[in-house]
Amino acid sequence: MYKIVFMRHGESTWNLSNRFTGWTDVDLTEKGINEAKQAGKLLKEGGYTFDLAYTSVLKRAVRTLWLALDEMDMMYLPIKNDWRLNERHYGALQGLDKAETAAKYGDQQVLVWRRSYDTPPPALEPTDDRASFNDPRYAGLRKEQIPLTECLKDTVARVVPAWDEEIAPAIRAGKKIIISAHGNSLRALIKMLDGISDDDIVGLNIPNGTPLVYELDENLKPIRHYYLGDADAIAAAQAAVANQGKAK
């Protein structure tokens, strides 16, 4: 049996101000820093050790990983940064307030943009300053690999190859792995691992800064999964994520 730990980054500045973030590279808040440290403490107390870490190329996930590893006294761990673990690109919504967007377009439309499997938010214009074409961290990618918007299906299409080509072989080779990523890139991975339907994935919300342990069988099929931490606080945090897209 294998174990892998997933972790969404701690609260970011744009989680706090309730803005659509996507590929925008915002940092953690003080609360987010503390969530990341607390995640590390829980992992340490639970006796978790790792051989390898994966994260995205966005600082909120990278810093969450650093802080958690620091708490575990495991800063020596090799870290692979993979753009394919980035948050789902939020297109032209990036930077907008989620509740204000719901007041303007309706809660249902925002739910579709946030959680539907195959309806992407409106795309950025290629000339928009928010587009990532000139960002050096994506210099190795072909232009068509750099999104202007993504639905979850598009995110699945880049996350699953990262799993198949990189992460799954490392697990099979016996490496104990932690992945620090994002709400929707983790939803994409979990959808694939658990075989969640396109309809049911709408209801899955991932709380910030909370280790999520998956136990996998020899074929890397999930046996069971659980969050580390207080169950009531985790349920409340998941409900709060779900409610971020509702008009006030």
Binding site for ligand 3PG (CB under 6 A): 20-22, 87, 90, 114, 182-184, 241, 244-245
Measured from each CB, the residue nearest to ligand 3PG is: 21
Smallest separation, CB 179 to ligand 3PG (Å)? 15
Beta carbons of 213 and 93 less than 8 angstroms apart: no
Q: Is 225 among the catalytic positions? A: no
Strands 177-181 and 52-55: parallel
Q: What is the dihedral of CA 235, 95, 182, 90, to 10 degrees?
A: 110
87 in a labelled binding site: yes
Q: Is 71 among the catalytic positions? A: no
Smallest separation, CB 28 to ligand 3PG (Å)? 12
88 in a labelled binding site: yes
Q: Quick one: angle between helices 30-45 and 59-71, nearest 10? A: 40
15 in a labelled binding site: yes
Beta carbons of 64 and 209 less than 8 angstroms apart: yes
Nearer to ligand 3PG, 90 or 117 (CB): 90
Smallest separation, CB 204 to ligand 3PG (Å)? 10
Q: Which of 28, 17, 19, 24 is nearest to 8 (CA)?
A: 28
Q: How many CB atoms lie within 10 A of CB 181?
A: 30
Catalytic option among 35, 71, 87, 150: 87
Residues tagged in the binding site annotation for substrate: 8-15, 21-22, 60, 87-90, 98, 114-115, 183-184
